Amino acid sequence: MTGLITPVRGLLGARARTYREHLDTVGPLPAVGAEQLVQLVAAAGLTGRGGAGFPSARKLAAVGSRRSPVVVANGAEGEPASSKDRALLIHTPHLVLDGLVLAARAVGCRTAYVYAPESVLDSSIRPALTQRRDRLTITPVPSADTFISGQETAVVAAVQGLRPVPTSTPPPIYVKGVKGRATLVHNVETLAQVALIARYGATWFRERGTDDDPGTRLLTLSGAVARPNVYEVAGGTTLGEAISAAGGALEPIQAVLVGGYHGGWVPWTAHAAQCPLTRTGLSAYEAHPGAGILVALPARRCGLKAAAGLATYLAGQNAGQCGPCRNGLPALAGHLQDLVQRRSPAHNHEEILRLVGTVDGRGACHHPTGTTRMIRTALRTFRNEVELHVAGACTELQGSRKGA
Amino acid sequence: MGTTLLIDWTRCEGRGLCAELLPEVLTTDDWGYPLSIREDRSLEVPPRARRYAEEAIRECPRLALRLLDS
Ligand code: SF4
Ligand code: SF4
């Protein structure tokens, strides 16, 4: 056994390409038992980092009580504006694999999978697997390059060799997942945190962050910020602090897309800048931190045009399975594009509001709900832009700048 | 306590038969897919409509409907 190991600062402090380097950096994997591990994760207050933010210990416990379960590390990261999972898998593959081994131990499972883009499996995960000896079979499964490939039921389908599209629930995958077995799908960042918590403890984890949002989380910042990149911040970090972490705004900005394409547009105001990036902190804006995605929108851009672009992309990413999603999202995107073009703006605006109300929640997965949320928050945040369009104008065409 | 209608959207083909049989809960959207008549879009089945819900479940050609008692 290695002697005293100084705990690393966080996920990004645990960079290591080889297994040797990894052990030197973070220390050996401790021999924690299943029950102890679930208790540790519960005491740490770790929540899922894939977007839904569900308490991780509850997921472990739900699957752990069932026979011959399956565990999957989910690194599909279908969100175009996110790159933290890729960064983590490339720079700290062994930390993620340790987390997978621990989660498997916690639920008593012998079959595990790493689901991630082929390029990441090839350059990082497969080489890492050859360097370690785990008593667990870990199989890499390439993820599809689609927005919804990381939805849990789509992950289950992909692992079984089926088309990676969501399936209808209930039953939930923790009851019936891969080949009918109880299945635990954890985001790769969540697993990496489990690997650190098992080593350094729940108290160490809570040294950073707040009671409401303990520990650290990864953010992907892009758009009009000085240094777009992946950052690790303490839980409870405000929107303003996050933008500052990326070097601040490059030019006047008017809004930030928080939580990715299924997230919410938050107006860049003094009030919003002080909101913690948590579910409660962002509730006034109907936004949520999701997988830690922030995109800053310049003031000179038309917010409606940006939202219409996202809606068109999301409409094209529907899996074609569910009527309201397959028909509703393209219709919504079409009305948004027409509104941007000022074809018959007042009518388009009304139709968008009506369709948002009918499509919401009606599909096998969250794609319709996430898409309508993004559109609803866009109409609210860019209501001045809506009025401009109804009056036949547009910020971008006029080249006029709005005040920040 | 309540009974909710579950729709498997991957199965439903949207001819709207269920909406005809269960107008207490359903109407159809622009494309003929079942849509809650309520403002909050809840699919709760009131006790007096339960037998019609059961009929809709039997008659659905795609076996897309179920009831969930909670
Ligand atoms: S709701 Fe849309 S994206 Fe989700 S499974 Fe159905 S068709 Fe596919
Ligand atoms: S009867 Fe069945 S297939 Fe027809 S619209 Fe209703 S749920 Fe869909």
pLDDT value at residue A228: 96
> Which pLDDT tens digits describe chain A residue by residue (404 residues)?
344 567 777 898 888 989 999 999 999 999 998 999 999 999 999 999 998 889 999 999 888 888 889 999 999 999 999 999 999 999 999 999 999 999 999 999 988 999 999 999 999 999 999 999 888 999 999 999 999 999 999 999 999 999 999 998 888 999 899 999 999 999 999 999 999 999 999 999 999 999 999 999 999 999 999 999 999 999 999 999 999 999 999 999 999 999 999 999 999 999 999 999 999 999 999 999 999 999 999 999 999 999 999 999 999 999 999 999 999 999 999 999 999 999 899 999 999 999 999 999 999 999 999 999 999 999 999 999 999 999 999 998 865 444 33
Ligand having the closest approach to the CA of B27: 2
Q: How confident is the model over B17-42, as a mean pLDDT? A: 96
pLDDT value at residue B1: 65
Ligand having the closest approach to the CA of B62: 2
Please, which residues have CB within 8 angstroms of residue A186's CB and are 6 or more apart in sequence? A48, A50, A56, A59, A71, A72, A73, A74, A99, A100, A103, A194
Is residue A53 within 8 A of residue A168, CB to CB? The reply is no
Please give the model's pTM, rounded to 2 decimal places: 0.93
Is A369 touching B (CB cutoff 8 A)?
Answer: no
Please, which residues have CB within 8 angstroms of residue A172's CB and are 6 or more apart in sequence? none
- The residues of chain A that CATH labels 1.20.1440.230 are 303-402
- The residues of chain A that CATH labels 3.40.50.11540 are 12-206
Fold of B3-69: Alpha-Beta Plaits (3.30.70)
* Nearest-5° Cα angle at A374, A185 to A368: 60
For residue A325, how far is the Cα from the chain centroid?
A: 21
**ipTM computed for the complex:** 0.95
Fold of A303-402: de novo design (two linked rop proteins) (1.20.1440)
Please, which residues have CB within 8 angstroms of residue A165's CB and are 6 or more apart in sequence? A148, A154, A157, A319, A321
> For residues A116 and A104, what is the distance between their CA atoms, to the nearest angstrom?
18
* Nearest-5° Cα angle at A190, A185 to A196: 135
> How many A from CA of A365 to the centre of ligand 1?
5
Does the CB atom of residue A365 touch ligand 1 within 6 A? yes
In percent, the amount of chain B with pLDDT more than 90 equals 91
> How many A from CA of B13 to the centre of ligand 2?
6
> For residues A60 and A41, what is the distance between their CA atoms, to the nearest angstrom?
9
Closest listed residue to residue A234, CA positions, set A211, A216, A220: A216
pLDDT value at residue A351: 96
Please, which residues have CB within 8 angstroms of residue A213's CB and are 6 or more apart in sequence? A47, A235, A236, A276, A277, A278
Pocket test for ligand 2, best of B20, B62, B67 (most atoms within 8 A of CB): B62
pLDDT at B32 over 80: yes
> How many A from CA of B53 to the centre of ligand 2?
12
pLDDT value at residue A278: 95
Does the CB atom of residue A319 touch ligand 1 within 6 A? yes
| Contact between chains at B9 and A358 (C-beta distance less than 8 A) | no
**CATH classification code of A216-298:** 3.10.20.600
The residue in chain B having the minimum alpha-carbon distance to the alpha carbon of residue A363 is B9
Residues of chain A positioned with their CB less than 8 A from the CB of B17 = none
Architecture of domain A12-206: 3-Layer(aba) Sandwich (3.40)
DSSP state at residue A70: E
Q: At CB < 8 A and 24+ separation, what contacts does A307-310 make? A: A307/A265, A307/A336, A307/A374, A307/A375, A307/A378, A307/A382, A308/A333, A308/A336, A308/A337, A308/A339, A308/A340, A310/A257, A310/A261, A310/A374
Helix extents (H) in A46-166? 56-64, 84-91, 93-107, 118-120, 126-131, 152-159
pLDDT value at residue B13: 95
Q: How confident is the model over B33-53, as a mean pLDDT? A: 95
Q: Which residue has the tokens 């479940």?
A: B57
Residues of chain A positioned with their CB less than 8 A from the CB of B10 = 166-168, 321-322, 364
